[in-house]
Amino acid sequence: RSPAEYEESDHRDLGPEDMVPEEDEQFGSEEDNFEPKLKEKPVGPPLDLEIPLRPPPALPNK
C-alpha cells in the first residue's frame, strides 16, 4: 500500500472524537472579547410629538 492510500483510508476511519484540536488554535466566544463601549449620548428635552388618534388614510375600495 502506498502512503497516500494509507492516509486516505486512515481519515475515513476517524470520528469526531478522534480529532485532536490544533495547539495554536484559540477559540474565544464573542463574550470573552466583548468590551462595553459606553458613549455619552446627547440628551435633550423630551420631544413633544402630536400623534393623530385616527386610522391612516386608505384606498376607498378597502
Each residue's pLDDT tens digit, 19-38: 676 665 555 555 555 566 66
Q: pLDDT at position 21, please?
A: 64
End-to-end alpha carbon distance in the chain? 78
Q: pLDDT at position 59, please?
A: 79
Q: Report the percent of the chain where pLDDT is more than 70.
A: 34
Q: Taking the model in full, what pTM does it have?
A: 0.18
pLDDT tops 70 at residue 47: yes
Q: How far is CA 32 from CA 24, 25, 28, in A?
A: 18, 15, 6
